[in-house]
Amino acid sequence: MSVSRVYEIRCPIHGFIELDEWEWEIINQPAFQRLRRIRQLGLTDYVYPGAMHTRFEHSLGVMHVATRLYDSIAKRSEGVLKSEFRYNDDGLRKDRRIVRLAALLHDVGHAPLSHAAEDLMPQRADGRHYRHEDYTAAIIRTDLRDVIENHPLNQTNYQIKADEVAYLIEGSALLPRRLLFWRDLISSQMDADRMDYLLRDSYHTGVRYGVYDLDRLVNTVCAVAVERESVLQVVIGVSEDGWHAAESLVLARYYMFTQVYFHKTRRIYDYHTVEAMRAALPKGQLPPPEGKGLQEFLKWDDWRFLGTIQSGQAGEHGRRILERRHYRVVYSTAETPLPNEWELAETIQQRLSGAGIPCYADSAEKSAWYNLEEMEVVVKRVHAAPVLLSTLSHPVQNLKGVKQLRLYVPPEQRDRAETIVAEVKRNE
């Protein structure tokens, strides 16, 4: 019997990441190699020069972390998994592979410069805008279907279908109950995606806000039976001796949001990116993830978009990116604004508009990294019923979502704008 070759990729966060021949062939597909040309944090390097890392390395890291979590749960909660989901060893082995592939491919549908460009994804027939997960699922079902389904390792050992991987990423209603349980490793408050990007983004931006104890989390993650709406469900949580590690993950995300992801200059470059791409793209939006549209979408990456900026095809906002002439903040509320601050912001916006000064209003809720108030983790206790992490942790219990609002204007209009802001404040 032939033995699959093992490949190793060195990662600055996790050390060596191992892949077999099947996974190696998948990452060498053009649709996956495209992730080498998509930055993880868009134009964040305009603030933190080291933030040049890509979706490619992040995807490998998510696969690595998801596998560690899966193996720990399968070992620590084997009895629960076999009783609740009727697993045998072969079933656990197959689903481990599905989770691993979903983690590896979860970001393959990202647009140029990552989250900022999602504002330019077209509408579906039902009126909802496409998300990068829709593009991801479409790529898995088309460009990557053959390499997933027809590789000898899959045909001989697993018989996994591309749809199974796509369903897990989508959270489809067609998922069997056992895979719905594992979806928490792909998308939840304690998923492998978050665990990787916090450490990776901290490392590359040169900050320490996103550091937490990954090893402790891996060693304490488990399956937890909880009652929800009078129905007993099994979810992924942590054991009681690991809740401080879970707490550190939640706080790390909060600090990274306030200090990096919602940094005032980083955020305005998201705005300039969207407007520059709107000017550069045919019809001002990305192609849909269907038919020829999907293939056209795959041609767009950071290299191509930045080329439109360099060649002058991305309009005024492209020029601002090229010359680093970004809009500046002229008014900002507190993280938790007082009622009069919102009213003041509205009045300032009206006055600036009346004076012919362009004004962009940015709020924390617009950020892809928001949802701070939803950061809950289930804790399994030894001698009592499971509880939410916020029940045990005072910092998590008191953690509130950031509600900050900022007003930006072009730098050449800043002096006039600040005069208007001062007048409005005096009259309040």
pTM assigned to the model: 0.95
**Tell me, what's the pLDDT at 1?**
42
**Tell me, what's the pLDDT at 114?**
86
C-alpha distances in Å from residue 232, one per residue of 40, 152, 166: 38, 40, 27
Count of residues in the chain: 428
Place of tokens 């849909």: 288
Pairwise pLDDT comparison (20 vs 190), residue with the higher score: 20
pLDDT, mean over the chain = 93
**Tell me, what's the pLDDT at 374?**
54
Q: Is 1.10.3210.10 the CATH number for 11-206+263-325?
A: yes
Q: Where are the domains of the chain?
A: 11-206+263-325
CB atoms within 10 A of CB 154: 17
**Tell me, what's the pLDDT at 335?**
87
C-alpha distances in Å from residue 211, one per residue of 26, 160, 195, 248, 404: 30, 35, 10, 8, 24
Cα–Cα distance for residue pair 190/408, rounded to 1 Å: 34
User: Which ranges of 331-388 would DSSP assign to H, the alpha helix?
Assistant: 339-354
